[in-house]
Amino acid sequence: MTMLYETQRAMRNMRKAALQRGVVAVLDVGSSKIACLVLRIDQSGVHYQGDSAGSLAGQVGFRVIGAATTRSRGVNFGEIDAMPEAERAIRTAVQAAQKMANIRVDHVIACFSGAEPRSYGLAGQVEVEGQAVTEQDIARVLAACDVPDYGAGREVLHAQPVNFALDHRSGLSDPRGQIGHTLSTDLHMLTVDATAIQNLAYCLKRCDLELAGVASSSYVTGISSLVEDEQELGAAVIDMGGTTTGISIFMKKHMIYADTVRMGGDHVTSDISMALQIPASHAERIKTFYGGVVATGRDDLERIELKCETGDWNHDRREVSVAELIGIMRPRVEEILEEVRYRLDAAGFDHLPSQQIVLTGGASQIPGLDGLASRILGQRVRLGRPLRVHGLPQAATGPGFASSVGMCLFAARPQDEWWDFEVPVDRYPTKSLRRAVRWFKDNW
């Protein structure tokens, strides 16, 4: 825990340095594309006031000055599995974005979807030392959370206090200065495979970039594609990517659950490729042009030419109807959605007051998906697109860029995580000056 604490704090400091320099890049390492946005941060004049988001949903203060996307190589299921290839892909994206921004970027905030995220709900309780709750009390209550044994070889990616309770009052977002006896907190912790983060960090290091933060793709997608009410009242985001489908549940503006289904749009493509015996690139093409999940009578009439280059004339000159294509795609999409339903049930999404579900991500653009999803997931399903941010190119405003946009928001205004709070005094090193000051305060 301490190790991670230190790394996360180091990354936070790096992020601060990047914000001070004014330029930071966000990198979405997906399994079908790698997107890099360069942000110019200008925090002056940004005053966040309480609950209201302010103009432009609170995302003034930064501007996208460079954007680039490249076909992903060496990334599979949201994890890096071929290091040199992934490095080249990241280099391509970063170089193009830098060229567009005409500025050199040193700090990168990255997100990835894989590495088997697991959510934990933690609770902690302490007695308040003085009359009113101080920063130190919050530090102590966070330290008092009983951390489960999440296994060796895993790292904590996010740890956010989602709720504070003081005596009988719960749902406090900021208990500082309030008077009470017992302070308790609920913490959401997300752990991922340590090797995935290490691989990513190593990859970025080989690109001469410094990692200024890591985020889960499900989390940042939720930030960008849920509107404020949904974040407040509770909603689930389904981010249907290339080979992974991320799930995150938001409540009271905090993520309370995240998970990943290791299936996505590429599996639909490979189904088409296998069933029709055509190359994957052509399968991808006919999927995006003719794909769907609900067949109508007209789809029987429309024929798609299949292109192969095997040399067998009969094999190369085949045709299928759109209905057949839909017949191939639908079971896989259903399978993905059912798996999502299963995960949501396991997380207890049924018990949330609001059952809103938002579909986003590149694979959510299949026509008719919302109808199919509402049958499987529940009635309140909508298709989500990311928020609009300053300077984002038109090409990067689709649902496939939800996590990239979310990363921008995450970079400009992150939510407080565990490591952003004070360290409890008894955990300071013995020679710390603050410890001495504390001792004086306590004794005089």
**One of 95, 178, 195, 365 touching another protein (CB under 8 A):** 95
Provide the β-strand partners of residue 38: 25, 66
Q: Which of residues 59-78 bind another protein (CB under 8 A)?
A: 70, 73-74, 76-77
Q: Name which of 128 and 209 has its Cβ closer to another protein.
A: 209
DSSP class of residue 53 equals -
Q: Does 299 bind another protein (CB under 8 A)?
A: no
Q: Does 82 bind another protein (CB under 8 A)?
A: yes
Name the residue among 186, 198, 114 with its Cα closest to residue 155: 198
Contacts of 424 (CB under 8 A, 6+ apart): 136, 139, 140, 143
Rounded to whole angstroms, how far apart are CA atoms 228 and 354? 13
**One of 55, 102, 379, 394 touching another protein (CB under 8 A):** 102
Assigned token pair, 62: 């930064």
Q: Does 238 bind another protein (CB under 8 A)?
A: no
Contacts of 11 (CB under 8 A, 6+ apart): 211, 212, 213, 214
Q: Please say whether the beta carbons of 246 and 406 come within 8 A.
A: no
**One of 335, 370, 420, 422 touching another protein (CB under 8 A):** 335
Q: Where are the beta strands (DSSP E) in 241-302?
A: 245-251, 254-261
Reduce the DSSP state of residue 94 to 3 states and report it. helix
Q: Does 56 bind another protein (CB under 8 A)?
A: no
Fill in the amino acid letter for 231. Q
* Window of 50-58, 79-87, 354-362, 425-433 that interacts with another protein by CB under 8 A: 79-87
Assigned token pair, 399: 């649902």
C-alpha of 333 from chain center: 21
Q: How far apart are CB 252 and another protein at their closest, in Å?
A: 33
* Window of 149-157, 323-331, 346-354, 405-413 that interacts with another protein by CB under 8 A: 323-331
DSSP class of residue 89 equals H
Provide the β-strand partners of residue 186: 123, 163
Q: Which of residues 155-214 bind another protein (CB under 8 A)?
A: 207-208
Site string for another protein, 358-377 (x = CB under 8 A): -----------------x--
Q: How far apart are CB 89 and another protein at their closest, in Å?
A: 7
Q: Does 22 bind another protein (CB under 8 A)?
A: no
Which residue bears the tokens 């110019």?
Answer: 40
Q: Does 79 bind another protein (CB under 8 A)?
A: no
Other CB atoms within 10 A of residue 51 CB: 9
Q: Does 280 bind another protein (CB under 8 A)?
A: yes
Task: List interacting residues with another protein (CB under 8 A).
Answer: 70, 73-74, 76-77, 81-82, 85, 88-89, 91-92, 94-95, 98-99, 102-104, 207-208, 243, 262-263, 266-267, 270-271, 273-275, 277, 279-282, 285, 294-295, 307-309, 324, 326-328, 330-332, 334-335, 338-339, 375
